[in-house]
Amino acid sequence: MSPVPSYVRVGPRSSSGLGNLRFVSFNTWLIVINVVVFILNNWVLSAPGLQVRVSFGDEYVPGVTKEQIARGQVLTTKTGTHPTVPGWLSHPIIDPQTPETNPQGLPVVAIENGKIVPRYKQIGRERFGAMPALEAIGHLSTGKGFIPGFQVWRFVTFQFLHYNEVHLLLNMLGLWFAGGMVEQFLGSKRYAAFYLVCGICGGLMYLLLNFLGYLVVHVLGLGTVAIPGLLFNDIYTPLIGASAGVFGVLIAAARIEPNAMVRFMFVIPMRLRTAVAAMVLVTLFNLFTGRQNAGGEAAHVGGILAGFYFIRNTHLLRDFFDIIGNSHRPDRRMPAPSAEWLADEARVDGILTKAHQGGSESLTEEERQILHRVARRQYG
């Protein structure tokens, strides 16, 4: 996944604004974990002797029958480069019951160890490559996500891997400038759920569009027809990067602080909501015109849609972590609501509406404290 477009905050830094990053926050640890994973994966484990073998699935020539596939044998003694995907290697797969023939229909033979032996028809190739261990077990692809079975951990782990230093830097800048403010608005637990959900939805969007492209080519047999938005890249093409989650955070930031001033592309001053809208339009243009990083843009769109929805329905994030434990166990004791609690709840919707219309700077200190109290009571 490619990095997000360049952006940078301008104006004063405050405890609730862009650029805020507390050392103990989830956002801080998110950045730290991404940097540590990058150092381990791209600097330490990338040495040739430490990389591990990764399968990219078998590829068969058109017209091969199921019977031939069942009889297929991999010639591990012969290794070649993949003809279309740089960096991938392959072993030929042959059918030991179908001799290879020349244009005249005569069997093709070879001399091995002084003996004349028949050559058998190559029906496909076994594809593989080498990756650092963290990337090998953590990257996402349609093939790894669906075939064989659901390797569901990849929907989370791909978000912590990056191609290079620039990819990492721009994504972490996005978290640095916007993540702290979004976390203060949501609370740490809901922010963690929000970020991960946006990343997961980015992965799902990529898989959906890539799988539909695969069906068009290999099931319907229509070739790479001009269907805007579909992805026709190989189903084992790796997807990595935090961009889907970062785009979700930017969408949330534009919702919370729409009038904050930023410098788009480090140069053009504009309001945050305008800058984010411009990024969204560029992302959609790149996806529907099939640009080079269309796969990454598909994941960005998934993160954008998730961010747009969940920042408006933050109550749905409350139970995200119930997948690893029930937060509503019968033995869990909840305190009876106090008069202050009930008063805060009665005002919170109006305060959120005011913040949306005029930005958080339009809120009084009392209204900010009410939002913080409600967030702590409900979400930690």
Region 118-138: what's the mean pLDDT? 95
pLDDT-based confidence at 357, cuts 50/70/90?
confident
The answer to whether 171 and 299 have CB atoms below 8 angstroms apart is: no
pLDDT-based confidence at 58, cuts 50/70/90?
very high
pLDDT at 2 (0 to 100): 41
The answer to whether 163 and 38 have CB atoms below 8 angstroms apart is: no
pLDDT-based confidence at 16, cuts 50/70/90?
very low
Quote the CA–CA distance of 257 and 12 in Å, as a whole number: 14
pLDDT at 112 (0 to 100): 78
Quote the CA–CA distance of 175 and 324 in Å, as a whole number: 26
Region 115-141: what's the mean pLDDT? 94
Extended beta strands in 78-180, E state: 80-81, 89-99, 109-112, 115-118, 120-131
Token readout for 153 is 């951990």
Residues near 9 by Cβ (< 8 Å), separated by ≥ 6?
A: 17, 18, 19, 177, 260, 262, 263
Look at residues 131, 140, 160 and name the one whose alpha carbon lies nearest to residue 299.
Answer: 140
**297 vs 375, residue with greater confidence:** 297
Quote the CA–CA distance of 122 and 93 in Å, as a whole number: 6
The answer to whether 327 and 310 have CB atoms below 8 angstroms apart is: no
pLDDT-based confidence at 355, cuts 50/70/90?
confident
- The per-residue pLDDT of the chain, averaged, comes to 85
Region 3-22: what's the mean pLDDT? 43
pLDDT at 369 (0 to 100): 83
Identify the helix (H) or strand (E) that includes residue 204.
helix 188-214
Q: What is the pTM of this model?
A: 0.81
Burial tier of 3 (Cβ tally within 10 Å: 0-12, 13-18, 19+): buried
Examine residue 148 and say whether the peptide bond preceding it is cis (omega within 30 degrees of 0). yes
Residue 62 has pLDDT above 80, yes or no: yes
The answer to whether 155 and 203 have CB atoms below 8 angstroms apart is: yes
Token readout for 327 is 């937060």
pLDDT-based confidence at 135, cuts 50/70/90?
very high
Specify which residues 111 forms β-bridges with.
116
**343 vs 375, residue with greater confidence:** 343
Write out pLDDT tens, residues 168-191: 999 999 999 999 999 999 999 999
Region 133-160: what's the mean pLDDT? 90
DSSP 273-288: HHHHHHHHHHHHHHHH
Quote the CA–CA distance of 71 and 76 in Å, as a whole number: 16
The SS3 of residue 175 is: helix
pLDDT at 347 (0 to 100): 85
Helices in 3-125 by DSSP H: which ranges?
26-38, 66-71
pLDDT-based confidence at 108, cuts 50/70/90?
confident
**358 vs 44, residue with greater confidence:** 44
Quote the CA–CA distance of 321 and 13 in Å, as a whole number: 32
Token readout for 192 is 């963690």
In the sheet where 7-9 sits, what is the strand order?
7-9, 261-264, 268-271
Write out pLDDT tens, residues 271-326: 999 999 999 999 999 999 888 888 899 999 999 999 999 999 998 998 887 655 55
pLDDT at 224 (0 to 100): 65
Percent of the chain with pLDDT over 70: 87
Sign of the alpha-carbon torsion through 139, 143, 148, 153: positive
Region 96-110: what's the mean pLDDT? 87
**365 vs 32, residue with greater confidence:** 32
pLDDT-based confidence at 341, cuts 50/70/90?
confident
pLDDT at 8 (0 to 100): 31
pLDDT-based confidence at 22, cuts 50/70/90?
low
Write out pLDDT tens, residues 200-252: 999 999 999 999 998 988 778 777 667 888 998 899 999 999 999 999 999 99
pLDDT at 17 (0 to 100): 60
